[in-house]
Amino acid sequence: MPDEQEECPKLEFKDIKPMEGELKLKLDCAEPVKTGTTKYGDWSMWFGFVEDMKVHKGRKPNEEVVEKFTGKVIFFPTERFSAKLIELADGKVGAEVLIKHVAKQGKVGLYSEYTVEKLADGKVVGESLTPYEAKLVTDARGLIANGYALTEDALVQSSKEEMYGGQISEARAKELFHLIDRE
């Protein structure tokens, strides 16, 4: 399966129009998939699904802006916003949230604030899944959401790749194929 980081376009909250705009986002994870620290501070990376939203593909200076994108995205919320998403996800994958961009008056002018509320609960990904199995299931769901017709044989073949530990048995991969939610 392809490396999601490289293929998913980036969602930027600043693209939500202040006051009038809002974004429904379906979280593809219950917590950040990666975190780190730079000279600018801590960061966390999340995956989610959007409908008809402006996104950014590639990196500057070759960045391409895509209007009305539907599919899987990557996004980097602030530390406080990420903590709120973890709270709302409540350990479940697929929680739906509503994000609003509010312009507020500060001492030196307008500033942006983003509010988030839960619209729908997610689903518990089987506690018996190893991290590699969970990644395989998440990646497969992402492919299906992006319109790929994933077959059982393709999932079994992918499960043997190094990025999934190379230790998922064929029988277990077939079980995982039937675990995938095909909404």
pLDDT 10s digits, 64-83: 999 999 999 999 998 899 99
Is the pLDDT reported for residue 10 higher than 90?
yes
Ordered by where they begin, the domains of the chain are 4-120 (2.40.50), 131-179 (no CATH)
Residue by residue, DSSP assigns 36-61 as EEETTEEEEEEEEEEEEEEEEES-TT
Those residues with Cβ within 8 angstroms of residue 32's Cβ, 6 or more apart along the chain or in another chain: 44, 45, 46, 82, 86
For 171, 176, 178, the CA distances from 155, given in Å and listed in that order, are 11, 9, 11
pLDDT single digits (tens) 38-54 = 888 889 999 999 999 99
Give the angle 163-127-94 at the CA atoms, nearest 5°: 75
Where is pLDDT greater, at 150 or 146? 150
Is the pLDDT reported for residue 90 higher than 50?
yes
Structure tokens at 55: 């996104």
Q: Give 144's pLDDT tier (boundaries 50, 70, 90).
A: confident
Q: Where are the alpha helices (DSSP H) in the chain?
A: 4-7, 79-89, 131-145, 152-159, 170-179
